[in-house]
Amino acid sequence: MDNPRSDRVRSVAALSKRSVRARTGRFAVEGPQGVREAVRHAPASVRDVYLTAEAMARYAADIVEPARAARLWVHEVTPEVLAAMAETDAPQGVLAVVEAAAPTLEDVLAGGPRILVLLTHVRDPGNAGTVIRGADAAGADAVLVSEASVDVFSPKVVRSTAGSLFHLPVVTGLDVDATLARLRGAGVRTYAADGSGTTLLPDADLSGPHCWVMGNEAWGLDDAVRDTCDEVVRVPIHGLAESLNLAMAATVCLYASAAHR
């Protein structure tokens, strides 16, 4: 493909818009790391893989061969076409169009999860992506995302997950109150991660199934949400910092959970 103004190119580029992603149920994965992980761990959701000639050669073993083995559509495109499709500056010659997996909270609960994290109001794409990556690394069973949070299928979030979006279920569009109630009903304790907590993280009982509940980057958790959680847990601050940023706090909490596993 060599025409950056073709309908196909336009339709891929349009996936940078949330409304188009919502309508089509598809999103774009930009860059070799994300595409490789999608091809490896979610091949059934991958619609098309686009690479420049240079990237075809560079990622032959990593992406092209596994994609062809999984009978995926692999297309060679010019650098101009790839640039026209991509939102980010540096897709490094690789982009895939993927169907958004749509696991539900019930799917997750059916698996008997031990460690979960719920993002109630995360707005920064980098934070959301980093939490998904940290949850994956810490061995969490799923990430739950409220309807008020950033769209996890936006290019910046996808990129900052570094492929983890394809490693564990990410449930989106959740109502926070209903989710907290359902988690409790399923025997999953809900722990609000909040600087106002009276329980320090090292003292929290992380032996049973539990879900970390994270608030907004700037203003933290809504009071009502915090009050609904079973416990409010604080990451200890030893120096003069007011707080950790959201992704750091989530990662530290999830690693504390992992240590108890």
Tell me which residues touch a copy of itself (CB under 8 A).
Answer: 37, 41, 126, 130, 133-140, 162-164, 167-168, 202, 235-245, 247-248, 251-252, 255, 258-259, 261
Q: How far is the CB of 235 from a copy of itself (least distance, A)?
A: 8
Q: What is the DSSP letter of 26?
A: E
Kindly state the smallest distance separating residue 126's Cβ from a copy of itself, in Å. 7
Minimum CB distance to a copy of itself smaller for 107 or for 177:
107
Cα(72)–Cα(253) distance, integer angstroms: 38
Are 109 and 37 within 8 A, CB to CB? no
**Among candidate residues 46, 38, 17, 245, the one with its CA nearest the CA of residue 153:** 17
SS3 label, residue 125 = helix
CA distance 53 to 80: 12
Rounded CA-CA distance 235/213 in Å is 13
Instruction: Assign 81 to helix, strand or coil.
Output: helix
Q: Which helix (H) or strand (E) holds 212?
A: strand 210-214
User: Residue 244 Cβ, how far from a copy of itself at the closest point, in Å?
Assistant: 5
Instruction: Rank residues 66 and 126 by Cβ distance to a copy of itself and give the closer one.
Output: 126
Q: How far apart are CA 144 and CA 116, in angstroms?
A: 7
Minimum Å gap between C-beta 178 and a copy of itself is 27
Closest approach of a copy of itself to the CB of residue 241, in Å: 4
Residues 94 and 53 sit within 8 Å (Cβ to Cβ):
no
Nearer of residues 90 and 224 to a copy of itself, judged by Cβ: 90
Min dist. Cβ of residue 19 to a copy of itself (A): 25
Looking at the Cβ atoms of 28 and 162, the one nearer to a copy of itself is 162
Question: Strand order in 94-99's β-sheet?
Answer: 26-30, 94-99, 46-51, 73-76
In the complex, what is the shortest distance from the CB of residue 258 to a copy of itself, in angstroms, rounded to a whole number?
Answer: 5
CA distance 151 to 125: 8
Q: Which is nearer to a copy of itself, 6 or 243 (CB)?
A: 243
Identity of the residue, 77 or 163, whose beta carbon is nearer to a copy of itself in the bound complex: 163
- DSSP per-residue codes, 94-114: EEEEEEPP---HHHHHHT--S
Our CB check for a copy of itself shows the closer of 5 and 238 to be 238
